[in-house]
Amino acid sequence: MGGILTLTVEHLVLSAAGVGLALLVGIPLAILITRYRAAAGFTMAVTDVLQTIPSMALLAALMIYLGLGNQTLVVTLMIYSLLPIVRNTYTGIISIDKGLIEAGKGMGMTRWQLLRMVQIPIALPVIMAGVRVAMVTAIGIATLGVLIGAGGLGAPIWRGMQIVDSSMILSGAIPAALIAIICNYGLAKLENAVVPRGMRVSSPAKS
């Protein structure tokens, strides 16, 4: 049983690492393309195409260049997490009521203040919805990590399938399903919690 707990924690850490890296790259990228709209369509198209590559294939292709192990899995998870994060940050920021931006400008806010004090707080629930989708997807893809020698709950599932041992499969499949459901639920709660106080009329919690 101890083994399963360790694998579960490892699974969560790997997934969170991929999503975390995607946040570090994706949020600045999304903010950048709200300022240079011409690049937005192109960026979205690229992330869209990346999304259609089957995860197993991308994992395998990256393995050839990055080698076996956790680092390859984390890079793969980052790539798949980019789309929901970039898309939601971008649409979250550009769909803010123009009046609110004007109000900020009228108060003499600099571009940076406007971003930090108006745009990001208002877009935060939408950004969080992107993070939720990214995290659930990452937990799913991380189960494939076993193929390239990464850790996590894929190992008991994969080994159980090889030797047709149901209880071994379930010892990986049940915790993997549970953490995905729990993360989805918890992050949805967080999504509602980050709605700025002044804006709590209806929450735009749409993925």
130 binds another protein (CB under 8 A): no
Closest separation between CB of residue 146 and another protein, Å? 9
Contacts (Cβ under 8 Å, ≥6 apart) of 86: 26, 29, 30, 33, 43, 44, 47, 130
Closest separation between CB of residue 10 and another protein, Å? 15
Stretch that binds another protein, among 1-9, 83-91, 96-104, 135-143 (CB under 8 A): 135-143
CA dihedral 142→143→145→150, nearest 10 degrees, is 90
147 binds another protein (CB under 8 A): yes
155 binds another protein (CB under 8 A): no
Contact with another protein (CB under 8 A) among 150, 173, 191, 195 = 173
Q: Which is nearer to another protein, 148 or 195 (CB)?
A: 148
Contact with another protein (CB under 8 A) among 1, 38, 64, 201 = 64
9 binds another protein (CB under 8 A): no
Burial 54-75 (b: 16+ CB within 10 A, else e): ebeebbeebbeeeeeebebbbb
46 binds another protein (CB under 8 A): no
154 binds another protein (CB under 8 A): yes
The SS3 call for residue 73 is helix
CA neighbor of 135 nearest in space, from 6, 5, 22:
22
Tell me which residue has tokens 């049940």. Answer: 174
Q: Are 130 and 87 in contact (CB under 8 A)?
A: yes
Burial class (CB in 10 A: 0-12, 13-18, 19+), 7: buried
Contact with another protein (CB under 8 A) among 61, 103, 107, 194 = 61
Counting residues that bind another protein (by CB under 8 A) gives 42
Residues contributing to the site for another protein (CB under 8 A)? 49, 51-61, 63-64, 136, 139-144, 147-148, 153-154, 157-158, 160-161, 164, 166, 169-170, 172-174, 176-177, 180-181, 183-184
